[in-house]
Structure 1
Amino acid sequence: MRIKHYLISALILTILSCGSKDHYDLIIRNGLVYDGINEEPYISGIGINGDKIVKIGNLIEATADREIDAEGHIVSPGFIDMHAHIERIMELPTAENFLKQGVTTVLAGPDGRGPSPMGKFLDSLETFDLGINTAWLVGHNTVRRNVMQTDNRKPTEEELTSMKKAVEEAMLSGAYGISTGLKYVPGAYSDLAEVIALSEVASEFGGIYTSHLREEGLGLIEGVKEAIVIGREADIPIILTHHKAIGKPMWGASEKTLAMVDSARALGIDVMMDQYPYTASATSLAVLIPTWARAGGNEEFRKRVEDPETRKKIHAEIMYNIEYDRGGNDLEVVQFANVSWKPDLNGRTLKDWVIERGLEPTFANGADLVIEGQLNGGASCVYHAIGEEDVKRIMQHPLAMVASDGGLVVPGNSHPHPRSYGTFPRVLGHYVREEKIINLPLALRKMTSLPAERLGLSDRGFIQEGMKADITVFDPQTVKDMGTFEDPHHYPEGIPYVVVNGKVTVSEGELTSNRAGKVLRKTK
């Protein structure tokens, strides 16, 4: 009798089990999945519980608290931005302009500007409700400034030891590597030995080295060579960040720099690059001023330009940079993005300012106003000095990742580079769909799995069971950047859904109340 009851009970449980439906927090249905693993995409359902992908396959019978119908859309791993300026993250923790591009994770602290000490910063950041995941680099410029201010000299042994300890603290706290800004003060004052010594510390903890090269214009080839030497000597993976060729005399030089990358890799040196898809860069007005003139800060710069002979030398070098380097041989190339002391300049050019003063638009008059602008507190500028063929050539290289070099922006505030709104959709819309410079699978690899592999992220960058549920859903026929250099403040189109750690953060193109971003910390 007991056996009979047991068999009946077992049969009932079996029937109930067969008839039951799996239930998930979120199901994404009917989308064409590019998972980063399989060469060919496939239509599938994706079941998500908590912050993880738990099921990929036939989910017709399954139910969920929330469902997304992705028919006609691409379902991709969330985009990973390998060069993001999110210094204002505690002020703008939602990072809306990144999310609406489909970005779920950013690598922050580039160009030598990463935080130090790192541990205290990351501990504080973890108390914020973040829209995106953030990984961080320790900044060489920050470390050097903390120890040596803006002195133009080599460090003493004691100072070098202090800087090495700062890099070690950052790596132990979870930094993913070290970044340099060798074009900027005070990184420009460092020599090769200093950068190698600090990079060796990052290497000991499995970190990477990202380099804003010492020069991206006339000294580009030497700058690439220096980065490769640093990587070789410090035994650290290299990223030539926002790789480009600045100024008309260097247009076409990417043929040489890419050949250098390939040759270095053939020798066993691990070098890659990232890139934004625009023919203009953005940085400070001060980039037109020789770095030696800015040692010691703005007051020392003021003293130098008050001396007639020193001013003459500074003025001549600014004119040279306008003609041959980032100035692009045209005052209209220099477009103001953020001028706190004269906001009406935002969106206008250096030529506009010269004419407004009633002056001839000569390089000499432009150089005078560059000096004046720096004395007033400096400015952010967009420089239209990159050749389109170099952009395309670099994009086609299999080891060039996508990165915005964009900052956290608010619509209507200043006049930023449109890359802060449109980098990833621009690649997908303009360069993939319209120009066909690269195909969609390669573009998505540059945005997802390749950056994840470079950073050593074992749980992101792919759509796979057990992975974190960072997912971007976009329409390949309509995805498009909408911001322009004349009118940058526009979010892109064609990216209706973004999921961060299992939470739908962008729904039908609009932000939800979900904030599921995490502070990522590297472990060796």
Structure 2
Amino acid sequence: MKANTLKLSALVMLMALTGCASKPTFNADILLTGGLLISGDGSAANAKKVAICEDKICGIFAPESTHIKAKQVIDVSGKVIAPGFIDPHTHSLSDLKSSTRNDNINYLTQGVTTVINGNDGGGPVDFNATKHTLHANGIGTNVGLLVGHGSLRKQVMGKVARHATEKEMSQMEALLEAAMEQGALGLSSGLYYVPGSYANTNEVVRLAKVAAKFNGIYDTHIRDESTFSIGLIPAVQEAIDIAKAADIHLHLAHIKALGVDVWGQSEQIINLVESEQQRGLSISADQYPWLASGTKLHSALMPKWVMADSKKAFHTRLKDPRLQDQIDRELAENLRRRGGAKAILITKFYDKSFEGKTLEQVAKEWNLSAISATKKLVLMGQVRIASFNMSAEDVENFMQQTWVVTSSDGTDGHPRKYASFPKKLKSYVLDKNLMSLETFIQRSSADTAKYFNIKKRGQIKPDYFADIIVFDPKQISVNASFAHWNVLTEGMQYVFVNGEIVINDHKFTNIHAGKVID
């Protein structure tokens, strides 16, 4: 009996000693303390400590944990810790290649740590060469690359207005296969734009099948977002048909119903997409939170046949007296679809005196019709415009779908390049309560990573790359507008890219920590 009592006492003492034993020290480079973690997977916010080791997240701990030792401890009390946003549709490649704009700071200040380039059919064909250039220069954000159908066409057959021959198809397929082997994320198309608009559906199917062999995606600016050619619903159906035939994930770029003719069709598109999803087709989309689209004046209004071949050929047709009646009729109809000359705002032009004026105002100043003013402007040079052509109801309807993620489609001359993510946060999450903060973050990070097959990014999770943002949602300031489109967002207190602090207490550190994703 006494022996049993002694054994029990010894066991109790051992258990007590084991329970009181301290945990082994966990060593990290950086430790974020005091913050509210929103991990990106849709789960509710929780108070956590987040540890970073080199370029990875190496631990997530309870607030009371005391066994972590870090070279740098950063107190982020009262702030949200979230995964860096992933923008699936940007036009930032020229900035990233630049010696002066490669920091991509207009994205970093929005909380975007990874951007996708090569959208709308314009992606680089030579993946390795592009990757080498970007890494040699240093880049502020991570970047993923799509291969553009339009770029493939231009390299193989120029801007000729016809279908590809079998030989040309084989050449495009070979170029795409090489880029996919090197690490491209997929194929993009811009079937609204020249020269993609000259291709038939089968041409795109054949190329999408190449991307599918490498588990790539098909990202498309559909052939028509309005009633310019085949119509909005048939254009969505064409994209679905391509994805079905190629057995590939379909991503609908900057989903919208553009122009008065198709306002209200968001419901039909949603029903069509979800019907196909229920049948097993993988489909997603992205959207920027603005009522105005942005493009070049000639892309918005010029008939596609006029723009074929070279710039010289384009301008020759535009000045040919024999073609004016036909050009004017088609221009007038395209202008009507976009809401008329008063809905076209000039946002960027070599002659700054035009910026901030509508096409209607310019036409009046010149004492010309809107059609004649359009042709004159196009002949003068590249004109970027904002086109106010979307309904608030359609924008909000698309935004609330679980398969629609956040994007910018960022281009010069439009505030979306500087403020799309904060605009959505302020206007649609905090003001209108269309979704929770957790949902907004998920659709700006983890969901995008999933749809684009980006590994180990988009969530705060051990062994994921340390792309992290720290901010107070109520202190985010949207400063860009249509009058002043290139003003940086304010409010991101810390931004980490691959474990490096690139924004430290609201200030850019001049560290270029971005990598090309492959």
Same fold by TM-score greater than 0.5: yes
1:171 deviates by 0.3
Residue identity in the other structure for 2:347: A
1:517 is paired with a residue of what secondary structure?
Answer: coil
1:61 deviates by 4.7
Say which of 393, 398, 404 aligns to 1:394: 398
Range moving further from structure 2, 240-249 or 481-490: 481-490
2:214 counterpart of 1:202: no
1:147 corresponds in structure 2 to: 156
Alpha carbons of 1:306 and 1:424: their partners in 2 closer, same or farther (altered >3 Å)?
Answer: closer
Residue identity in the other structure for 1:54: C
Say which of 48, 56, 61 aligns to 1:57: 61
Say which of 90, 93, 106 aligns to 2:97: 90
1:31 corresponds in structure 2 to: 35
Q: Distance in 1 between matches of 2:482 and 2:203?
A: 38
1:472 corresponds in structure 2 to: 469
1:401 is paired with a residue of what secondary structure?
Answer: strand
Q: Distance in 2 between matches of 1:295 and 1:37?
A: 46
1:370 deviates by 1.5
TM-score, structure 1 normalization? 0.90
2:144 corresponds in structure 1 to: 135
2:492 is paired with a residue of what secondary structure?
Answer: coil
1:335 corresponds in structure 2 to: 345
1:319 corresponds in structure 2 to: 332
1:108 corresponds in structure 2 to: 117
2:257 corresponds in structure 1 to: 245
1:243 deviates by 0.4
The within-5 A match list for 1:270-285 is: 270-285=282-297
1:74 corresponds in structure 2 to: 80
Residue identity in the other structure for 2:264: G
Q: Distance in 2 between matches of 1:138 and 1:450?
A: 21
Residue identity in the other structure for 1:488: W
2:365 corresponds in structure 1 to: 356
Unaligned runs of 5+ in 1: 1-13, 360-364, 410-415
1:127 is paired with a residue of what secondary structure?
Answer: helix
Alpha carbons 2:56, 2:499 under 8 Å: kept? yes
1:446 corresponds in structure 2 to: 443
Say which of 276, 281, 286 aligns to 1:269: 281
Alpha carbons 2:169, 2:203 under 8 Å: kept? yes
Alpha carbons 1:183, 1:212 under 8 Å: kept? yes
Q: Distance in 2 between matches of 1:439 and 1:369?
A: 46
2:5 corresponds in structure 1 to: none
2:6 corresponds in structure 1 to: none
Q: Distance in 1 between matches of 2:78 and 2:162?
A: 59
1:442 deviates by 1.4
Residue identity in the other structure for 1:149: G
1:303 deviates by 2.5
Alpha carbons of 1:236 and 1:294: their partners in 2 closer, same or farther (altered >3 Å)?
Answer: same
Alpha carbons of 1:20 and 1:259: their partners in 2 closer, same or farther (altered >3 Å)?
Answer: closer
Alpha carbons of 1:357 and 1:233: their partners in 2 closer, same or farther (altered >3 Å)?
Answer: same
Say which of 283, 292, 295 aligns to 2:308: 295
Alpha carbons 1:33, 1:75 under 8 Å: kept? yes
1:124 deviates by 2.2
Q: Distance in 2 between matches of 1:506 and 1:349?
A: 37
Range moving further from structure 2, 116-125 or 92-101: 116-125
1:38 deviates by 6.3
TM-score, structure 2 normalization? 0.92
Q: Distance in 1 between matches of 2:405 and 2:455?
A: 18
Number of aligned residue pairs: give it. Answer: 490
Measured against aligned partners, the alpha-carbon deviations of 1:138-161 in whole angstroms (never above 9, x if no partner) come to 000011011111100111111111
Alpha carbons 1:395, 1:438 under 8 Å: kept? no
2:158 counterpart of 1:161: no
1:404 is paired with a residue of what secondary structure?
Answer: coil
Measured against aligned partners, the alpha-carbon deviations of 1:441-463 in whole angstroms (never above 9, x if no partner) come to 21111111101111222211111
1:85 is paired with a residue of what secondary structure?
Answer: coil
Q: Distance in 1 between matches of 2:69 and 2:357?
A: 54
2:475 is paired with a residue of what secondary structure?
Answer: coil
Q: Distance in 1 between matches of 2:506 and 2:388?
A: 31
Alpha carbons 2:42, 2:442 under 8 Å: kept? no
The within-5 A match list for 1:117-136 is: 117-136=126-145
1:283 is paired with a residue of what secondary structure?
Answer: strand
Measured against aligned partners, the alpha-carbon deviations of 1:317-355 in whole angstroms (never above 9, x if no partner) come to 11101112xx32x31211112212x23212221112112
1:457 corresponds in structure 2 to: 454
Residue identity in the other structure for 1:258: I
Alpha carbons 1:496, 1:507 under 8 Å: kept? yes
Alpha carbons 1:119, 1:169 under 8 Å: kept? no
1:459 is paired with a residue of what secondary structure?
Answer: coil
1:29 is paired with a residue of what secondary structure?
Answer: strand
Q: Distance in 2 between matches of 1:36 and 1:355?
A: 51
1:68 deviates by 2.3
1:261 deviates by 0.7
1:447 is paired with a residue of what secondary structure?
Answer: coil
1:479 deviates by 2.2
2:318 counterpart of 1:309: no
Alpha carbons 1:27, 1:46 under 8 Å: kept? yes
Alpha carbons 1:432, 1:439 under 8 Å: kept? yes
1:422 corresponds in structure 2 to: 419
1:488 corresponds in structure 2 to: 485
Alpha carbons 1:496, 1:509 under 8 Å: kept? yes
Measured against aligned partners, the alpha-carbon deviations of 1:343-374 in whole angstroms (never above 9, x if no partner) come to 32122211121122134xxxxx1111221222
1:480 deviates by 3.6
Residue identity in the other structure for 1:383: S
Unaligned runs of 5+ in 2: 1-17
Q: Distance in 1 between matches of 2:57 and 2:51?
A: 6
1:496 is paired with a residue of what secondary structure?
Answer: strand
Q: Distance in 2 between matches of 1:38 and 1:399?
A: 13
2:90 is paired with a residue of what secondary structure?
Answer: strand
Measured against aligned partners, the alpha-carbon deviations of 1:359-410 in whole angstroms (never above 9, x if no partner) come to 4xxxxx1111221222223321111111111111100000001011014x6x
Q: Distance in 2 between matches of 1:302 and 1:513?
A: 43
Alpha carbons 1:429, 1:478 under 8 Å: kept? no
The within-5 A match list for 1:172-187 is: 172-187=181-196
1:514 corresponds in structure 2 to: 511
Q: Distance in 2 between matches of 1:395 and 1:271?
A: 15
- Paired-residue identity, %: 34
Alpha carbons of 1:378 and 1:315: their partners in 2 closer, same or farther (altered >3 Å)?
Answer: farther
Alpha carbons 2:348, 2:383 under 8 Å: kept? yes
Alpha carbons 2:417, 2:486 under 8 Å: kept? no
Q: Distance in 1 between matches of 2:315 and 2:452?
A: 42
